Amino acid sequence: MSISSEDTSDSIRCHIRAAPMMQEQPWSKDEVELALSNLPGGETALSLIPTLQDDALQRALEEFQFLTLNETANCKQRKVSLPTFANGFMRKALLASENGAAAAATPGQLLAGWPDTFHLTIRRMPLHMAACAASVKIVEELLKHGANPNEWDLGKKCTPLHCAAAAGCVTTVKCLIKSGANVDAGLSGRSPLHYAVLNNAGDCVEALLQAGACPNNPQVYTETPLHVAASLGNVRCTKLLLSYGADVRVQLGTARSTPLHLAAEEGSAECTKLLLNAGAAWDAKNSRGQTAMHLAALAQSVETLDVLISAGARVNVEDDDGRTPLHAAVAKALRGSELVKTLIQAGASVNKADKFGYTPLHIAALNESSPTVVMLLLKGADVTARTKGGVTALSFIIRRTPDVLPRFVARLDQAISLHDHELGDVDCELRLDFRPLVPGGRGETDLMLCLVEVGQGHVLKHPLCESFLYLKWLRIRKFFLLSLVFHSIFIALFTGYVSATYLWQVKRLSGVLLWPVLGFTCMLACKELFQIVHGICCYAKRWENWLQWSVILASAVILIPPVRPWQYHVAALGILLAWIELMMVVGRFPMFGIYIQMFTQVSINFFKFLAAYVCLVIGFSLGFSVLHKNYKSFTDPLISLLKTVIMMSGELEFEDVFFDEEAPLMYPGTAHLMLLSFVILVTVILTNLMVGLAVSDIQELRRCAGLDRLVRRAELVAHLESMLFSKLLDRAPARIIRMCRRGALLLHPPYHCALHIRPNDPREKRLPRELVRAVYRLVSEKRTRRTTFRSSAPPSSLRNTAADSSQARFSRMYSNESSHQQLSDLAAELKRCSYNISTRLDSLTDKMESIAREVDVTMNYSQTYCSPTGAC
């Protein structure tokens, strides 16, 4: 703030002691007071200034120009000019010692001696102080008495003009300029123009520019007044600087920020518009590769983004990390939805990933901004997008914004709709739109696989997902049939070769079958190598792949001539593993999948169970070895362990062990007690426990059979789809690969993205009848909820205008996706149910009253027309 000549000295004192409301001053309040108090009589003068009014102050200034001091060197009285004193002929100690002697002087004597006096250590002139205080009269008097308007302080930080500009007093600035002050003083650092802009002193900026102040800085990468004005969002100063030729292309410091960057970062749409009209480059990048679009998005300024987009700025421009303005917009949740809407309407890509693989949806979910996540999903964001670490956006959504998942499921509900005719009509047609299941143009089953990975497999039971998986299986089952045929031929040839070589020992037949088996083994190995190169991490997690390699190695080993005894062991194991592998291939088909899964799950649980009780079995086997060491089956501890495991099935051989004449019982009593304990603990308890566990597993599998079948189908389809669309096949014959890929796809955008079914037509065979009924039921429930909701709305809502009705429909549609609407639907259903129950109770009450009246009539008739004996 500034103080005019009409202000009282109380205001001057207040202005000196209180920090002005500026953004930045050359010196702090404490520094100013310290400098004034160290002047001759400074402490007395500071205490007397409030008592002087304007006229008294003027008279005091005109009273004296010199001050008499005692010179300590020769103890003589002499007149010492304060300019001489201030230039160093007197020591600072003398200055301090004379403070007390000057206390008797009048205020006028003290003030008149200050024109060129400065603090000896920091070289601050009274003119600096007066300019800081915006005291025009004092500045004029000091200049009249010879004060230098271009005097620097000791640190070369500022001149009086800097102080006046920082104080924002245009009168003081003009006075100093008129007295010859250099308007470009400190141009390489901070000039008076710089301080004027910094403190939003528009009048001072205009006065300095009119006096010829340079708006630019001669040193590169140095802060200019235009940088300051843009960073503060100062529209007037920006306009003034641009009108006097300020360079809009200059960059600041190591960040390489232009004025446009700073204006966008401040969120000043007006300054941004002025800079763009002056020729600022919207595509200029700072040291991090960010443009003004990135910075405006980070500042959450929709208005600035609109200005930049109108000027032609690209919305998908990337910084050094590959991030677009949309990434920056979702980083904060304050106005995220508005920014996302603005950028997407301008053409921003919602699925653009940075160099770490993060899409805007990842960042919005990480910042727990549910409205922004919902907005991105509505605009087609891909929840299956993965980071470089393999984390999907859906995983972040489940962990950070779980409230979004019901809205995601609601989108699946909306994808099933009534297309034509009424529900009860024979020609009723329902539309199943599969586009929500295939976001981002990725694999058609990636979303299903992601749902399974994040523990949301139950979503697959939605009629839309189940229908999609059924149709998808119909498209790709031919590839599994080919795989089944391939494995069947290989197993047949492999079995024939093993039988001819190791069982029948027919060398001629073995020689015929050798090369086909070798060829199929090589093809099988190539297929497995292709899967390893395609994705070794996922490949190593599947135990079936290890089984497959066991078959390949066994096949390769038994083909080595000549036949040796150890190859019989490999042949026996290989033929077993090969048929187990064929069983697993058969289990990929839905008809047999549940049974193979039962076998696999029960086997895994059995071995876990056996591992828990193996100590008990080992203990009994060793005990039997000690008590029956003369019996062949218990002579060797390992054979004894095998015999004990077999005895678990009920094959005890009681008579052969206890009544064998060739191997009589050596330790009766203990042997009998040991066998009895084994029967009770192992044969009865442990065996029945394992049977019960297997039955429990089977029941659990049957209970979850539908969901497990869908999960297994989704995994198989996703695996095959990833193989067909692998980049490793790009060098294969293009025509064959294109035909295979097209045969695996269910959707062919933009035309073939939906299925239309007629649920009431008995000829509808494209979906199973139970699935058609589920789709029909979903549409019927949606229609019922909508009717109930409309009937429960207040009558006044029906009298809205057309625009209000449209807005209300949009609000209802949006709210259907939220949990709030789900609660409203539930409340409406409860209301309808309570109404039905109330109606039925009223009807039942009426019937009971009618029956009661009939009984009363009958009793009255009996009493009137019947005799006491009962004859009527």
pLDDT tens, 424-433? 777 788 888 8
How confident is the model over 746-757, as pLDDT tens digits? 776 655 778 888
pLDDT above 70 (res 402)? yes
**For residue 111, what pLDDT band results from cuts at 50, 70 and 90?**
very low
Which whole number is the average pLDDT over 33-51? 54
Q: How far apart are CA 731 and CA 158, in angstroms?
A: 72
Residue with the bigger pLDDT between 154 and 356: it is 356
Query: How, if at all, do strands 754-757 and 429-433 pair?
Result: antiparallel
Question: How high is the pLDDT of residue 842?
Answer: 64
pLDDT of residue 696 exceeding 50, the answer is yes
Could you tell me the two tokens for 527?
A: 């297929």
Note the pLDDT of residue 534.
78
Query: Which of 759, 757, 754 shows the shortest CA–CA distance to 777?
Result: 759
| CB atoms near residue 57 (< 10 Å) | 22
Band of pLDDT at residue 866, cut at 50, 70 and 90 = very low
- For residue range 478-529, what is the model confidence (pLDDT) as tens digits? 888 888 899 899 999 989 888 888 888 888 888 888 888 888 899 988 888 8
pLDDT digits (tens, 9 = 90+) for 130-151: 777 777 787 887 787 777 888 7
The per-residue pLDDT for 293 is 92
pLDDT tier, 359 (very low <50, low <70, confident <90, very high otherwise): very high
Angle at the Cα of 428 from the Cα atoms of 424 and 429, rounded to 5 degrees:
145
Residue with tokens 């789900």: 822
Is residue 362 very low, low, confident or very high in pLDDT (cuts 50, 70, 90)?
very high
Q: What is the pLDDT of residue 718?
A: 78
Distance CA 355, CA 195 (A): 42
**Given a cut of 50, is residue 120 above it in pLDDT?**
no
Task: State the Cα–Cα distance between residues 556 and 567, nearest whole angstrom.
Answer: 11
Distance CA 407, CA 826 (A): 16
Q: How far apart are CA 180 and CA 149, in angstroms?
A: 7
Q: Is the pLDDT of residue 680 over 80?
A: yes
pLDDT band, very low/low/confident/very high, at 358 (cuts 50, 70, 90): very high
- Tell me, what's the pLDDT at 422? 77
pLDDT tens digits along 800-817:
443 343 334 334 433 344
pLDDT bucket at 744, cuts 50 / 70 / 90: confident
* pLDDT at 199 exceeding the cut of 70: yes
Report how far apart, in Å, the C-alpha atoms of 656 and of each of 363, 541, 662, 708 are: 74, 48, 10, 48
Q: What is the pTM of this model?
A: 0.66
Say which residue the tokens 């304007």 belong to: 54
- Summarised one tens digit per residue, pLDDT across range 641-654 is 888 888 887 777 77
Q: What pLDDT shows up at residue 134?
A: 73
Average pLDDT over residues 310-333: 88
Q: CA 634, CA 98: separation in Å to the nearest integer?
A: 120
> Which residue, among 551, 569, 567, has the nearest Cα to 559 in the 3D structure?
567
- Mean pLDDT of the 682-697 span: 81
Residue 834 has pLDDT above 80, yes or no: no
Mean pLDDT of 375-383: 85
Q: What percentage of the chain reaches a pLDDT higher than 90?
A: 4
- The pLDDT of residue 806: 36
At 43-94, the pLDDT tens digits run 555 554 444 445 554 444 444 333 333 333 333 333 333 333 333 333 334 3
Q: Check residue 800 and give its pLDDT.
A: 43
> Is residue 549 classed exposed, middle or buried when 0-12, 13-18 and 19+ CB atoms within 10 A define those classes?
middle
% of the chain beyond a pLDDT of 70: 72
What is the mean predicted confidence (pLDDT) over 89-114?
42
Radius of gyration of the chain (CA): 47
In 314-404, alpha helices (H): 325-329, 336-345, 360-366, 370-378, 393-400
Across residues 293-320, what is the average pLDDT? Answer: 90
Q: Give the pLDDT score at 308.
A: 92
Q: Which residue has the tokens 């076998």?
A: 599
Q: What is the mean pLDDT of residues 218-245?
A: 84
Looking at residue 804, its pLDDT comes to: 43
